[in-house]
Amino acid sequence: MFSMPIKFPDTAYNGAIKGKKLVRDELTNIIVARKKKLTKTKLTSGGDLSQMLLMTDENGEFMNDMEISNSIIGLLVVSYKTTSSTVTFVLKYLAELPDVYNKVLDGNLLKS
């Protein structure tokens, strides 16, 4: 049987859509607050979420709020399953970002 998710009220699918919006909004609020805090304290390195806010790509551009939010949600989803899923997620991004891979390999991830 073929089925398509339809956005009817009081269905699991509709609840998931509402939940996604709540999570995304809360993450955005946290990201914005953390950016303000980093700007005020002028930190150049940090742990947890601060590290994602301070990382730049090869062009010196910072990740935007949606990219940071997607990364956090991705980590939450894969870590829900098993540790091996998280390791797979990390390896996937290291394979896609050879400059980051080389920094990890050299132990210089926190240096820009």
Contacts (Cβ under 8 Å, ≥6 apart) of 2: none
Q: What is the pLDDT of residue 20?
A: 87
Of 33, 8, 28, give the one whose Cα is nearest residue 18: 8
State the DSSP code for 56: B
Tokens 């990740």 belong to which residue?
63
Average pLDDT, the chain: 80
Please give the average per-residue pLDDT across 65-85, as a whole number: 79
Q: What is the pLDDT of residue 2?
A: 62
**Residue count (the chain):** 112
pTM above 0.75, yes or no: no
Of residues 43 and 63, more confidently modeled: 63
Reported as a single tens digit per residue, the pLDDT across 5-48 is: 677 788 888 888 888 899 999 999 998 888 888 878 776 665 66
Collapsing DSSP to helix, strand or coil, 82 comes out as coil
Does residue 112 have a pLDDT over 60?
no
Reported as a single tens digit per residue, the pLDDT across 47-56 is: 666 778 887 7
